[in-house]
């Protein structure tokens, strides 16, 4: 059992089961890098407040910097018997600089420390996720480019509806992901890094000492959004977990989008559809049925959406009954946060590669596009152009389609006399021209085509 940060008041050791039950080091060690950055900034605050001599501050800063270097390389080894990462860092600092380390916690509490470290972690992960979203949007763009001009049936209620460009089908997913990027950006901007809350009531240090421009180790463009704000409401600063819930919510939405894409690809890759072929590197086999090439990757992405939602509901439920301010329940916010970030990060990486390898079966798709029902709406517009009211035209084509189904005669094979029974405006030559996928998509002039797959949707 390692040294605690609060031992003084206690004369009895903690029960080993309580140690196990309350400890969070086994997951919050992932905050090491961010807690260390916060600690380095705190050293500067203490120096400004003359609570540390310049020589003490630089000694402490260097020791923390060395630990930070280790943490950013993944080489920070936490002591599993520490209560949490904040305790672990304190203990490691003491080993490195001796009694001077005992001054680091001046005007500080783990309550504000954990909020700061979690917020910094969330902001940095938001930047990384933004880049991953961009990659997937670009991969969808590349896939569209590689299949330029390919037309596919669009479905409503899973029934044949109308013909669309594949690039618009894929573009629909790109639109979702672009909105996700905007949501991510907005959520990250809403996370304010705050120092000076202490346990709940603020600290004796003048707020001016807390105003620091960007943590030292965060460089370049990133730095701008990482200013440290002096606390304006210390109670909220230690008890706010909205940033976790915002993140889990938008990650759930991203996961839902990836799940829908997965579902489309699962259906499209069935033998019944046969529209798309999964690359072998992104499929799996069956231990029993030798012929199988299964879309397990897509199924897992669909399944993970459930876990992402669970993590969101988990955090909402933990928070809903908490009185102000900090309560230990809030320690439980980290596992769902880390889990959802990990899930969405790997999904975005996998899908950026997977979509590039998708092969479309053009001849099978063309075969399906021969279904005349896909052009029924175009026939309605044709009659509308000839002055027939839309509802009347709709009914005419409806009856014609029913006749075609009942008699098993395609509309394009019907004689002019047959067509005349439905409307004298239905000219056979026109109808044959209209029952065509290219003519169909080209007739849709309401779509303003300025979709771009450039990165400009993120950041700014
Ligand atoms: N490990 C704790 C957490 O993640 C640190 C805060 C403990 N604070 C306290 N007052 N017991 O929330």
249 is known as an active-site residue: no
Q: How many whole angstroms from 87 Cα to the centroid of ligand 1? A: 10
Helices (H), 373-450: 376-385, 390-407, 416-420, 428-434, 437-442
Instruction: Give residue 23's region: left, alpha or beta (phi > 0; psi -120 to 50).
Output: beta
Among protein residues, the one whose CA lies closest to atom 10 of ligand 1: 111
**CA atoms of 145 and 151, how far apart (whole Å):** 13
pLDDT for the residue 454: 45
Among protein residues, the one whose CA lies closest to atom 11 of ligand 1: 328
Phi, psi angles (nearest 5°) of residue 212: -125, 135
pLDDT for the residue 459: 40
pLDDT for the residue 162: 97
Within 6 A (CB) of ligand 1 lie 24, 28, 84, 110-111, 114, 326, 328, 330-331
| Residue 360 DSSP symbol | E
Neighbours of 455 (CB within 10 A): 15
286 is known as an active-site residue: yes
* Cross-strand bridge partners of residue 162: 154
Domain 16-106 belongs to what topology? Fumarase C; Chain B, domain 1 (1.10.275)
Q: How many whole angstroms from 113 Cα to the centroid of ligand 1? A: 9
pLDDT for the residue 293: 82
Q: How many whole angstroms from 10 Cα to the centroid of ligand 1? A: 17
**CA atoms of 257 and 241, how far apart (whole Å):** 25
Q: Give tens-digit pLDDT for 30-69.
A: 999 999 999 999 999 999 999 999 999 999 999 999 999 9
Place of tokens 């990027």: 181
pLDDT for the residue 282: 84
Among protein residues, the one whose CA lies closest to atom 12 of ligand 1: 331
Q: 253: Cβ–Cβ under 8 A, 6 or more apart, which residues?
A: 180, 183
The correct CATH number of 111-366 out of 3.30.70.270, 1.10.10.10, 1.20.58.110, 1.20.200.10 is 1.20.200.10
Dump strand ranges (E) for 94-243.
151-156, 159-165, 193-195, 228-230
Q: How many whole angstroms from 246 Cα to the centroid of ligand 1? A: 21
For the entire predicted model, the pTM comes to 0.94
Query: What CATH architecture is 370-442?
Result: Orthogonal Bundle (1.10)
pLDDT along the chain (460 residues), means of 10: 80 92 98 96 96 97 96 97 97 97 96 97 96 98 96 97 97 98 97 96 96 84 85 98 98 98 98 95 82 91 98 98 98 98 98 97 98 97 97 97 96 97 97 97 87 45
**What are the sequence ranges of the domains in the chain?**
16-106, 111-366, 370-442
| Residue 106 DSSP symbol | T
Place of tokens 């993140």: 247
Residue 99, CB-side half-sphere exposure with 13 Å CA sphere: 0
pLDDT for the residue 452: 53
Of 55, 232, 286, 407, which is the active-site residue? Answer: 286
Q: How far from 193 is each of 121, 122, 140, 181, 221, CA to CA, in Å?
A: 11, 11, 35, 21, 17
Q: Of the residues 10, 85, 328, which should be mutated to test ligand 1's pocket, given the most ligand atoms within 8 Å of the CB? A: 328
Displacement of CA 80 from its chain's centroid (Å): 31
Phi, psi angles (nearest 5°) of residue 242: -60, -35
């Amino acid at each position: 059992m390692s040294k605690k940060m609060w031992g003084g008041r206690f004369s009895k050791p903690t029960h080993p089961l309580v140690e196990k039950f309350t400890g969070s080091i086994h997951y919050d060690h992932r905050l090491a890098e961010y807690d260390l950055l916060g600690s380095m900034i705190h050293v500067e605050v203490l120096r400004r407040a003359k609570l540390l001599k310049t020589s003490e501050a630089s000694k402490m800063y260097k020791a923390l910097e060395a630990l930070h270097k280790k943490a950013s390389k993944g080489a920070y080894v936490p002591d599993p018997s520490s209560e949490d990462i904040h305790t672990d860092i304190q203990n490691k600092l003491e080993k490195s600089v001796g009694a001077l380390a005992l001054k680091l916690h001046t005007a500080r509490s783990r309550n504000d420390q954990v909020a700061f470290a979690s917020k910094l972690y969330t902001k940095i992960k938001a930047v990384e996720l933004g880049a991953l979203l961009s990659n997937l949007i670009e991969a969808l763009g590349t896939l569209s480019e590689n299949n330029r001009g390919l037309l596919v049936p669009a479905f409503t209620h899973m029934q044949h509806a109308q013909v669309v460009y594949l690039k618009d089908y894929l573009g629909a997913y790109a639109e979702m992901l672009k909105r996700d990027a905007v949501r991510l950006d907005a959520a990250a901007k809403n996370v304010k890094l705050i120092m000076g809350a202490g346990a709940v009531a603020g600290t004796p240090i003048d707020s001016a000492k807390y105003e620091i421009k960007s943590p030292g180790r965060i460089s370049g463009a990133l730095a701008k959004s990482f200013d440290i704000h002096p606390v304006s409401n210390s109670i909220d600063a230690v008890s706010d977990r909205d940033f976790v819930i915002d993140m889990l919510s938008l990650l759930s939405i991203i996961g839902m989008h990836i799940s829908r894409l997965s579902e489309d690809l699962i259906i499209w890759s069935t033998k019944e559809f046969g529209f798309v072929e999964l690359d072998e590197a992104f499929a799996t086999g069956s231990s029993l049925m030798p012929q199988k090439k299964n879309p397990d990757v897509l199924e897992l992405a669909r399944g993970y959406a459930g876990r992402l939602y669970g993590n969101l509901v988990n955090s909402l439920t933990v928070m809903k009954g908490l009185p102000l301010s900090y309560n230990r329940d809030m320690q439980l916010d980290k596992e769902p946060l880390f889990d959802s970030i990990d899930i969405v990060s790997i999904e975005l990486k996998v899908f950026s590669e997977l979509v590039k390898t998708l092969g479309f079966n053009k001849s099978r798709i063309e075969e399906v596009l021969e279904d005349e029902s896909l052009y029924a709406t175009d026939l309605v517009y044709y009659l509308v152009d000839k002055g027939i009211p839309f509802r009347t035209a709709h009914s005419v084509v409806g009856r014609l389609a029913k006749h075609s189904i009942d008699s098993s005669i395609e509309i394009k094979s019907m004689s002019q006399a047959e067509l005349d029974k439905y409307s004298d405006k239905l000219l056979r030559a026109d109808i044959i021209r209209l029952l065509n996928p290219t003519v169909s998509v080209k007739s849709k002039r309401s779509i303003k085509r300025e979709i771009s797959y450039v990165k400009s949707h993120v950041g700014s």
